[in-house]
């Protein structure tokens, strides 16, 4: 492992729901145990893949508390504490600290929030006062704010601001962040091998819910600079990771995880389960990977 505190795979774990749409904590604990056994290096609780925007503040806080207790120091814990109000972000972040989280991931201000660099710097300066390491989040297609290399440099001067997760899906844009030599985390599934080869500091990976052992083997090989081995494993991962990035991402991860034995139920409304047609396409792409995954158990 590198000196960066969030290197390797940080699994953006799904949040399981029961048939009534409530969080299924018994299943959540089972999933955590399975992923720890698979060797994941860390967890992101209440992630985007984990339906953060469709959890109430209290649900998200309860999920973080339960997850951190279940993980119990066996892997690192990152909590997403994004919210519209900066006061809510601070409250959630302090709660995550109280629960023993190692860091938090926070979106820049969204839904008509500030888009100028100084406004973003001011926002993260406030968030970083909560005391935990903060990972910023670059997903301009969703929030309308792009973390450029220049902005990344300014943010990195803030005490406790440690990294940016790039989920833009733009390889050139991510490479420009990595070239700053500041710790950049990849959050775009199809870019994982390119990001690691270019020098990404770590990954926050939703698609790994479907094949954690294979993803861990791939990342470990890359971190050990066994590039031929990493490329061999990536050939198994690439068809699925590219497919889910093309649309219905969260629904696809839930469906794929169900198919591979890491089921979390269905996504919470308003997201619907994956259509039958898309499920068949996903299953066809996933079958070879699922067989490989089963062989690693």
Catalytic residues: 137, 165
DSSP string, 154-204: HHTTSTTEEEEEE-S--HHHHHHHHTTTS-EEE--GGGHHHHHHHT--EEE
Distance CA 57, CA 91 (A): 10
Secondary structure element (H or E) that encloses residue 251, with its range: helix 249-259
Distance CA 211, CA 241 (A): 10
Secondary structure element (H or E) that encloses residue 27, with its range: helix 25-38
**Tokens at residue 173, please?**
């844009």
- At residue 115, the 3 state secondary structure works out as coil
Distance CA 273, CA 269 (A): 9
* Cis peptide bond prior to 215, omega within 30° of 0: no
C-alpha R_g of the chain: 18
Q: Contact, 9 vs 216, CB < 8 A? A: yes
Secondary structure element (H or E) that encloses residue 77, with its range: strand 76-80
Residue 153: partners with Cβ closer than 8 Å, 6 or more residues away: 180, 182
């Amino acid at each position: 492992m590198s000196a960066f505190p969030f290197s390797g795979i940080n699994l953006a774990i799904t949040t399981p729901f029961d048939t009534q749409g409530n969080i299924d904590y018994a299943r959540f604990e089972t999933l955590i145990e399975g992923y720890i056994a698979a060797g994941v290096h860390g967890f992101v609780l209440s992630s985007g893949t984990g339906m953060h925007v469709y959890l109430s503040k209290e649900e998200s806080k309860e999920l973080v508390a339960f997850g951190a207790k279940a993980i119990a120091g066996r892997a690192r814990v990152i909590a997403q504490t994004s919210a519209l109000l900066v006061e809510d972000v601070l409250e959630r972040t302090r709660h995550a600290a109280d629960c023993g989280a190692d860091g938090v991931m926070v979106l820049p201000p969204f839904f008509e929030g500030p888009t100028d660099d100084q406004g973003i710097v001011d926002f993260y300066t406030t968030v970083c006062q909560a005391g935990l390491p903060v990972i910023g989040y670059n997903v301009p297609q969703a929030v309308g704010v792009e973390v450029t290399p220049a902005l990344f440099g300014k943010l990195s001067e803030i005490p406790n601001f440690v990294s940016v997760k790039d989920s833009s899906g733009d390889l050139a844009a991510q490479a420009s962040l990595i070239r700053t030599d500041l710790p950049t985390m990849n959050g775009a599934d199809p870019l994982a091998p390119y990001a690691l080869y270019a020098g990404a500091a770590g990954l926050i990976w939703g698609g790994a819910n479907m094949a954690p052992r294979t993803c861990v083997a791939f990342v470990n090989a890359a971190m050990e600079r066994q590039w031929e081995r990493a490329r061999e494993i990536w050939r198994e991962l690439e068809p699925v990771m590219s497919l889910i990035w093309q649309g219905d991402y969260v629904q696809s991860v839930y469906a794929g995880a169900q198919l591979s034995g890491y089921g979390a139920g269905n996504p919470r409304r308003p997201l619907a389960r994956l259509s039958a047609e898309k499920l068949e396409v996903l299953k066809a792409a996933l079958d070879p990977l699922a067989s490989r995954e089963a062989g690693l158990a």
